[in-house]
Amino acid sequence: MVGSVAEHHPWLGRSCQEEEQKEGRYFERVYSFAIAAFIAFSMLPVVMSPVASAFEIAPHRAAYKLVLASTRTGSPVVSVSGGMTFEWADACDGWATEQRYLLKLVNADEPERILKTSFVTWESKDGARYRFNVKRTRTGAPDEIVQGEADLSADGVGVAKFVQPEKIDIKLLVGTKFPTDHILTLMRSAESGGRSERHFLFDGGALEGSQSVTALLLPSRKSNFISTLPSNLANPTIWPMYLAYFDVADKAGEPNFEMSMDMQPNGIVPVIMLDYGDFKLKGVLDMIEPIASPDC
């Protein structure tokens, strides 16, 4: 059975210069979606929306083990291992999250490299305001910090205001969503029988604007994880999802990163698969515990 996050988990991290930066960046996009996946369910009963939802929410703290699932033929990757933790909290006026991950990567004839990242965000409950603070540490490289805030106006126009690594404002494409609002849209679509969605997304993980995300929502199925989760967090239903992330300016049509995940209607994600091209990682829920909601 999955244990408590309070128990030991001696991992958390990751890895190659340009390759390292790319992989680190897209791991954070995974993070961004994981953030939204967890907190969105905690928001569903209270978000102002014309579509009502009856999800039973389970705010929680979770930790995942990351293992190498496969490598592409000719890939230099020999081994990858690490872990990821996530914590969601109701900040009354918004939703606060903190995630950390550590990944260790070994390429052929090269020493082990490690990437550590912390990603702290706050998003208003109406999906219009967003704050982000990212710190990335890589073997043999100076720390990278990305920090700022973003706002969306009622007409869909938005701007991201970075203060680190430099002060710069970047316009967001009309229709851009922040992570929580993005996953809310996907989950409502899945609940109503939708099978695909495409949106612009801003997560603040790098000095850039909106990205394009295409989601395929598969039919719900019976969960295989009921016996491995605490009874108060288990759910008999799984919503399988597949997401592909694209650079808006890239006309080649090839995704930069892909991921799939099994998601329970209460917000628990027992399994996630991360596809970086050269290799795939499987994230398996290792520890979990509920978080009590505050009196706001």
| pLDDT > 80? residue 265 | no
Is 91 within 8 Å of 103 (Cβ atoms)?
Answer: no
What is residue 1's predicted lDDT score, i.e. its pLDDT?
60
Long-range CB contacts (within 8 A, 24+) of 259-262 = 259/30, 259/33, 261/33, 261/37, 262/223, 262/225, 262/238
Is 290 within 8 Å of 7 (Cβ atoms)?
Answer: no
Could you read off the pLDDT of 148-168 as tens digits, one per residue? 999 999 988 999 999 999 999
| pLDDT > 90? residue 66 | yes
Share of the chain above pLDDT 70, in %: 80
The DSSP secondary-structure symbol of 267 reads S
> Which helix (H) or strand (E) element contains residue 12?
none
Is 13 within 8 Å of 106 (Cβ atoms)?
Answer: no
Could you read off the pLDDT of 201-213 as tens digits, one per residue? 999 999 999 999 9
pLDDT band at 219 (very low <50, low <70, confident <90, very high): very high
pLDDT band at 109 (very low <50, low <70, confident <90, very high): confident
* Cα angle, residue 126 at apex, residues 122 and 128 outer, rounded to 5°: 70
What is residue 14's predicted lDDT score, i.e. its pLDDT?
31
What is residue 2's predicted lDDT score, i.e. its pLDDT?
64
What is residue 124's predicted lDDT score, i.e. its pLDDT?
94
* Cα angle, residue 289 at apex, residues 67 and 62 outer, rounded to 5°: 30
If you average pLDDT over residues 2-19, what whole number do you get? 42
Supply φ then ψ for residue 70, to 5 degrees: -170, 165
Q: Which of 5-19, 29-43, 160-174 has the highest mean pLDDT?
A: 160-174
End-to-end CA distance of the chain: give it in Å, rounded: 33
279/133 Cα distance (integer angstroms): 28
Supply φ then ψ for residue 288, to 5 degrees: -155, 145
Among the listed ranges 69-83, 102-116, 261-275, which one has the minimum average pLDDT value?
261-275
If you average pLDDT over residues 197-203, what whole number do you get? 95
What is residue 217's predicted lDDT score, i.e. its pLDDT?
95
pLDDT band at 216 (very low <50, low <70, confident <90, very high): very high
For residue 117, which of 48, 26, 6 has the smallest C-alpha distance? 26
Share of the chain above pLDDT 90, in %: 43
What is residue 120's predicted lDDT score, i.e. its pLDDT?
94
Among the listed ranges 89-98, 193-202, 252-261, which one has the minimum average pLDDT value?
89-98
267/130 Cα distance (integer angstroms): 21
Is 110 within 8 Å of 26 (Cβ atoms)?
Answer: no
pLDDT band at 147 (very low <50, low <70, confident <90, very high): very high
What is residue 215's predicted lDDT score, i.e. its pLDDT?
96
Could you read off the pLDDT of 47-62 as tens digits, one per residue? 333 334 444 556 678 8
What is residue 33's predicted lDDT score, i.e. its pLDDT?
43
Tokens standing for residue 9: 């988990």
Burial label for 17, CB within 10 Å (0-12, 13-18, 19+), is exposed
Mean model confidence pLDDT for the chain: 80
| pLDDT > 50? residue 17 | no
What is residue 38's predicted lDDT score, i.e. its pLDDT?
38
Q: Which residue has the higher pLDDT, 228 or 26?
A: 228
Half-sphere CA count of 77, side-chain side, radius 13 A:
26
pLDDT band at 117 (very low <50, low <70, confident <90, very high): very high
Is 67 within 8 Å of 98 (Cβ atoms)?
Answer: no
Q: Which residue has the higher pLDDT, 230 or 38?
A: 230
